[in-house]
Amino acid sequence: MSQNADLQKRRVDAVARGVGNATQLFAVKALNAEIWDADGKRYIDFAGGIGVMNTGHRHPKVMARIQQQLDAVVHSCFQVMPYEPYIELAEQLNKRAPIDGKAKTLFITTGAEAVENAVKIARAYTKRPGVIAFGGGYHGRTLLTLGLTGKIAPYKIGFGPFPADIFHARFPHAYHGVSVADTLQDIADLFKYDIEPSRVAAFIIEPVIGEGGFVPTPPELMRALRALCDEHGILLIADEVQSGFARTGKLFAMEHYDVKADLITTAKSLAGGMPLSGVVGRAEVIDAPAAGGLGGTYGGNPVACAAALGVLEVIDSENILARSTALGETLAARVGRLAEDSTLGIGEVRHLGAMFAFELIQPGSQNTPDADAAKALTAKAAELGLILLSCGVYGNSIRVLVPITVEDAILDEAMAILEAALRAVRS
């Protein structure tokens, strides 16, 4: 029996069924954009731990920061005995985040915690209960964040009822027939039928919707949301758990827009693989909760904060933002050429920086989603040595979250595997 097979048998016996796995391959070693399984097979990683490895697996500068902190303090709890890496990292985010006026930051551990705390802060500041989210959006797996998440399968099945005063509007995606006007009409209908604007604390939106298919928010919608917020005293929360930290060619995806959020959530690639999340926002807003109302035992762990400072060092010293932009253009060009072959059934190709995805559609159709092909492609790619993930409201989108630091030769190898896998699936 292979090591992978043995570990899978143990995993089935010992681990909760509800924890899904994209593959039955078990990681034992990783470096930059390469990862090896328990049987010694090498793969190119286009998943990046679901968007966590923007600066690559085990980047030397990040690892050096981690080791330095391991030799000092591993944990004291910031609420008991604070430490400098938390403060230094907060100072860096406050300076860099696209927030109007003075900014402050809170650190916790997971993306869902960041979203939960952003909602808490919004409710404390506005003294209102309501939150409006968007169809296809993903905000986490806790009960509150599941309520915000706009995708039933696989996340919400069997877990209701969900918290009250959460509402959804359609997310605009012209390729599938939903316009910005449709979204704004949904919001107007919510204000008419479900909750008056004076009871809404916040809109929460991903600048690039993640699990919903890597669809960028149209600038006109972001401007319209900002205008509604300003008119009605509502806060705008940008969920940048997946889109932040260089993935879109900017440190924060909100930098692509001409309006600013009041609160921004961040996690995933923030700390180069260490568990860390944060909320950065307008100081007067983020200071609304009473002392002791925010935080967590592991929140802003010193080792994770040190890792995040290393990530910022990499972004600054290795021109990662420009690299992200160039990588996205390369991916779009290469998949765009494949899309010219109608037998491959490639639909819309979209990206913002290196936050890249393409849809698989039934060959010969205009845009009929082909989720079966997406599932087959991820399986065939893994067989050939490439780790891919699917996503999307229809389950037919292939998303690419390869480390931005990927070497050109390895990227070329990966694209050759992707093409071979796709042609095998369509043959």
Which pLDDT belongs to residue 73? 98
Q: Which amino acid is at 272?
A: G
Q: What is the pTM of this model?
A: 0.97
Helix (H) or strand (E) segment spanning residue 204? strand 200-205
DSSP 170: P
For 3-58+319-426, CATH gives 3.90.1150.10
Which pLDDT belongs to residue 237? 98
Which pLDDT belongs to residue 154? 87
CA 336 vs CA 208, 247, 339: distances in Å: 20, 20, 5
Cα distance between residue 3 and residue 80, in whole Å: 43
Which pLDDT belongs to residue 160? 87
Cα distance between residue 264 and residue 206, in whole Å: 10
Q: What is the token pair recorded at 210?
A: 């993640």
Q: What is the mean pLDDT of each run of 10 residues along the chain (427 residues)?
A: 94 95 96 98 98 98 98 98 98 98 98 98 98 97 95 88 96 97 98 98 97 96 98 98 98 98 98 98 98 96 98 98 98 98 97 98 95 98 98 96 98 98 97
The domain segmentation of the chain, as residue ranges, is 3-58+319-426, 73-317
Please name the residue ranges forming H helices in 137-254: 143-148, 180-193, 219-232
Which pLDDT belongs to residue 1? 76
3-state secondary structure of 180: helix
Which pLDDT belongs to residue 151? 87
Which pLDDT belongs to residue 153? 84
Helix (H) or strand (E) segment spanning residue 66? helix 60-70
CATH class of 73-317: alpha beta
3-state secondary structure of 241: coil
Cα distance between residue 265 and residue 73, in whole Å: 26
Burial class from Cβ neighbours inside 10 Å (0-12, 13-18, 19+) for residue 409 reads exposed
